[in-house]
Chain A
């Protein structure tokens, strides 16, 4: 276990190093940085690889490849590595890219990859809700604001504004962040594994159909569900389970979520209607007359 902990810590250090190399910064000598950028990426990939190697060493490597050793069918295992590699690589690009538009596009990649992870975890509804709400709605809003708030289109690399070209203290932030990561990972991969809580176990589909669905008002459809062939253990789909849990167990939370959305809607309208002077123009206005900009 000491070996695992050491390797995890080393992987975190390498990750921090890679991130420091990849962060946007003033580049006095572009030729050097053309080498250092890919070098940083290489270090990052090796850090990621090492973290995963640790995971593999923590178990028995041979056992792990065998089916069901992890409780993962083999294919799901491969998909886990694929999606989480895409997610992490895209996440690094989000925070290191100099152009906000590309950062937002890479973030869509992060969302798609983590939706893939949720598919591996058999949470189909969450995966697609993620793609629709994050990739569709929220990111489009971000794109709109980036377009609205961007200065003139940069002609070449160094035309981007200074606040996009330099990062604030990348070194200390990376060190602190990856220290947090090392601590988290050492807890996750420690000996006392997190066991499933039997008290938290979900009610079986048969129980839900007999006791919960029977009392609901949509009797026709519920009868149809209840008369489904009882041989299959999973008669309720993921969406049905989520919907039932949402409306049976959390009615107050739904109302509160509605209130939050309403308040943020009102807040957004108030913010949008606020009239602000452009301070630059106010300061430079002709003969001390403040000129209001829209």
Chain B
């Protein structure tokens, strides 16, 4: 039986924040290192995941539901971002037949 928490001690909060931070940092590293455009956007979604875990943990610590409400808006942004970014990725793929981010390095000037 999964026992949900009633209250969260500051130390337990640190546990959840640590998981969130690790997810965020792994997403960050993936975004910088991977060269596949789709994986790069997948990594931004992973950074969102880390932030969401932290938000829900803080909501529990402060006994305030607004932290959870905010997750809904994070989800909204994530959905909008996925739609636009993936549309752009398909557009770029049709142009050069590659998903390599390096193929567009001319844009960095």
Interface residues of A (CB under 8 A from B): 19, 23, 51, 55, 58-59, 70-73, 75-76, 79-80, 84, 87-88, 91-92, 94-95, 100, 103-104, 107, 110-111, 114, 117-126, 129-130, 133-134, 137-138, 141-142, 145-146, 148-149, 151, 161-164, 166-170, 173-174, 176-178, 180-181, 184-185, 188-189, 193-197, 200-202, 238, 241-242, 245-246, 249-250, 253, 257, 260-261, 263-265, 267-268, 271-272, 274, 276-280, 293-294
How many Å lie between the Cα of A92 and that of B12 in the bound state?
24
Contact of A71 among B9, B32, B88 (CB under 8 A): B9
> Which residue of chain B is the closest to A69 with respect to CB atoms?
B9
Task: Tell me if A's interface is mostly helix, strand, loop or mixed.
Answer: helix
> Which residue of chain B is the closest to A25 with respect to CB atoms?
B33
Range, interface on chain B = 35 or more
In B8-36, the 8 Å CB interface with A consists of 8-19, 21-23, 25-30, 32-36
> Which residue of chain B is the closest to A83 with respect to CB atoms?
B19
How many Å lie between the Cα of A126 and that of B86 in the bound state?
25
* B29 & A201 in contact (Cβ 8 Å cutoff): no
How far is the CB of A184 from the nearest CB of chain B, in Å? 5
Residues of B within 8 A of A125 (CB): 68
Contact of A200 among B38, B64, B101 (CB under 8 A): B64
How many Å lie between the Cα of A293 and that of B16 in the bound state?
49
> Which residue of chain A is the closest to B35 with respect to CB atoms?
A163
* Beyond known contacts A124-B4, A149-B89: 17 more, CB 8 A cutoff: A59-B11, A70-B12, A72-B8, A79-B2, A110-B49, A114-B19, A117-B16, A129-B72, A151-B97, A161-B98, A163-B98, A177-B29, A181-B22, A188-B21, A242-B72, A276-B94, A279-B95
How many Å lie between the Cα of A84 and that of B20 in the bound state?
9
* B66 & A249 in contact (Cβ 8 Å cutoff): yes
How far is the CB of A212 from the nearest CB of chain B, in Å? 13
Residues of A within 8 A of B19 (CB): 84, 87-88, 114, 117
* B56 & A134 in contact (Cβ 8 Å cutoff): no
How many Å lie between the Cα of A249 and that of B67 in the bound state?
12
* B39 & A100 in contact (Cβ 8 Å cutoff): yes
* B35 & A121 in contact (Cβ 8 Å cutoff): no
Number of A-B residue pairs with CB-CB distance less than 8 Å in the complex they form: 303
Q: A59, A137, A167, A180: which has the most chain B beta carbons within 10 Å?
A: A167
Tell me whether A173 and B33 are in contact in the complex, defined as CB-CB below 8 angstroms, given that A73-B3, A117-B53, A120-B4 are known contacts. yes
* A94 & B42 in contact (Cβ 8 Å cutoff): yes
Residues of A within 8 A of B29 (CB): 19, 95, 173-174, 176-177
Contact of B63 among A73, A100, A196 (CB under 8 A): A196
- 18 CB < 8 A contacts A-B: A73-B5, A76-B2, A94-B42, A95-B26, A100-B36, A118-B52, A121-B56, A137-B79, A141-B82, A162-B100, A176-B29, A181-B22, A185-B21, A242-B72, A253-B73, A272-B90, A278-B94, A279-B95
* B12 & A71 in contact (Cβ 8 Å cutoff): yes
How many Å lie between the Cα of A168 and that of B35 in the bound state?
7
Contact of A194 among B13, B15, B46, B66 (CB under 8 A): B13
* B42 & A142 in contact (Cβ 8 Å cutoff): yes
Residues of B within 8 A of A70 (CB): 9, 11-12, 15
How many Å lie between the Cα of A242 and that of B39 in the bound state?
32
* A268 & B87 in contact (Cβ 8 Å cutoff): yes
How far is the CB of B44 from the nearest CB of chain A, in Å? 11
Interface string of B52-80 (1 = CB under 8 A from A): 11001101111111101101110111111
Tell me whether A95 and B76 are in contact in the complex, defined as CB-CB below 8 angstroms, given that A200-B64, A276-B94 are known contacts. no
Q: A95, A103, A242, A278: which has the most chain B beta carbons within 10 Å?
A: A95
